[in-house]
Structures are given as C-alpha cells and as structure tokens.
Amino acid sequence: MLRIKNRLVSTLAICVLMSFSAHAKLTVFAAASMTNVLEQVKASYLKLHPKEEIDFSFASSSVLARQISQGAPADIFISASQKWMDFLAKQNAIELKTRVNLVQNTLVMIAPKNSKIESVKLENPQWQANLKESYLAVGDPAHVPAGKYAQQALTSLNQWQAVQEKLARANNVRAALALVEQGEAPLGIVYGTDATASQKVKVVAIFPANSHAPIEYPATIVAGHHNQESQTFLDYLTSDEAKQIFIQAGFAVK
C-alpha cells in the first residue's frame, strides 16, 4: 500500500510539473512609455510560442526597479533609464550577462491636437507665456526618467529655473501625456513615441539630442529568473522582427 501511495504521489507531482511546463508564464516589468509597442511585440511573439503567457506591469522605471529590489516576481525588466538598471545591478538583482540595450527614444514638447500652438522655439523662453495660469505636464523629475530628461533639457536651454515651479509632475510619462490629451495642461514634455501613439496631441518641438542624456532602454533578466522561457523572450526582443515593430512605433534601434 505504501509503494502504491508513493507512486500516486509521484504521478501527481509529475502531472503538476507537466501542467506548469505546458503553460509557461512570464512577467515583464517595463517602462510606461513601452505600453503600446510591447503589446504589439507580445502578439507577434505568441504566434511563434502559442503555449506561453506574458503578463506586463507598466509603470515608471523607478517604481518598477524598487519593486524588483524588494522581491517583486518579475522575470524581465525593461527600463527607460540606465540609472535604474544600474540601481538593480548594484544590488545583484539582475542577471548581468543578459543586460542589453534595446532601443532609443527622443524627447518632444506636445500640445493638444486642437491647440492654437503650432510650433515652439525652445531656445526662446517666450513659449512659457503659453502656460499662462496653467502648468507644463512632465513626469516627476524626482524619480521619473522622462521628467529627469526634461529637467536636463530645460537646464541646458537655461530655462529650468523659470519653469520648475510651473510643472504638473506626473507619476509616469503616460500620465503626463494624459494631462495634455485631456486639455488639463497646454503643453507637456514626453517621449517622441508617446506622441506618436496618441491621436489627441501634436508635436510642437523636438529637444536637441545634445540637451539631455541619451534616452536608452536597457533590458535584462531578473536575478533568479534565468530560464529557457525568459531567455527566449529576451532574445526575441532583439530580433529583426521585434526591431521592425519598435521602428514602426518610433523607437530607434542599432
């Protein structure tokens, strides 16, 4: 009876393992600015791997990095800033050998689609008059990468001091985009790809590339989560198929 019972337990254990392996599931933590494009990449990937499942958690890179450092169950992390990937690397929270730079982005100023503002000369501080009694929508420079890039760019143009008290500081770049989409802010600073993804805003200026640090998106497998499924998806993110999707969304790839 004992042997039969042990066999039954072993059989059940094998069935459970087979069930898990038949439905591999990945959890990807990614910068909010990658929301649209990663959903497209996922759809393309699942055509090749229909038995797998991929769940995304989109937020500011700083929020996600802190969650991972505290043990959040992420398999892959895609940051909009090298800073927050370095933050995790110092804590040995990522698989260093898997770290890659996926794409690059641009920084733009936007206005609502129906705004009378058609273009802004960034070097001329007169554009600030468009804010009137309102605010400039940005990701919070204290922790949101898009906001930090905005601060760098405005500082480079000698305009940070004049506008730093006129900021609507959003929790992530998509929240800043939403403020402009909804007409709650007459101007905002977001990534070029955010503007491309929206039908409710228009680009009124592009910040010079040399006015801020390069906007790079590093990706990696989280420590302890390096397996066939996570490596296969990370490899796909750098594939020619994925690169075309990123390019169509407005990202730059090497």
State the binding site.
33, 61, 146, 173, 191
State the binding site for molybdate.
33, 61, 146, 173, 191
Neighbours of 61 (CB within 10 A): 33
Average pLDDT of the residues in 115-127: 96
6: which 2 tokens?
A: 């042990």
- 107-206 homologous superfamily: Periplasmic binding protein-like II (3.40.190.10)
d(CA 72, CA 69): 7
Q: Please state which CATH class domain 25-104+216-253 belongs to.
A: alpha beta
pLDDT digits (tens, 9 = 90+) for 156-180: 999 999 999 999 999 999 999 999 9
Q: What are the phi and psi torsion angles at 152 (to 5°)? A: -60, -45
d(CA 243, CA 223): 25
197 within 8 A of 174, measured Cβ to Cβ: no
d(CA 243, CA 69): 29
Neighbours of 120 (CB within 10 A): 19
33: which 2 tokens?
A: 């600015």
Q: Which residue ranges does the chain devote to CATH 3.40.190.10?
A: 25-104+216-253, 107-206
pLDDT digits (tens, 9 = 90+) for 76-113: 999 999 999 999 999 999 999 999 999 999 999 999 99
pLDDT digits (tens, 9 = 90+) for 189-246: 999 999 999 999 999 999 999 999 999 999 999 999 999 999 999 999 999 999 999 9
DSSP 58: E
What dihedral angle (degrees, nearest 10) is formed by the CA atoms of 43, 78, 76, 48?
20
Helix (H, G, I), strand (E, B) or coil at 211: helix
DSSP 124: S
Q: For position 3, what pLDDT does the model report?
A: 52
pLDDT digits (tens, 9 = 90+) for 5-60: 445 444 444 444 444 444 579 999 999 999 999 999 999 999 999 999 999 999 99
Q: For position 23, what pLDDT does the model report?
A: 55
Distances from the Cα of 100 to the Cα of 1, 45, 58, 76, 113, angstroms = 55, 19, 19, 12, 36
- Helices of type H across 74-144: 82-90
Distances from the Cα of 57 to the Cα of 63, 65, 78, 224, 245, angstroms = 11, 12, 10, 19, 20
- Helices of type H across the chain: 2-22, 35-48, 61-69, 82-90, 145-156, 160-163, 173-181, 192-197, 228-237, 240-248
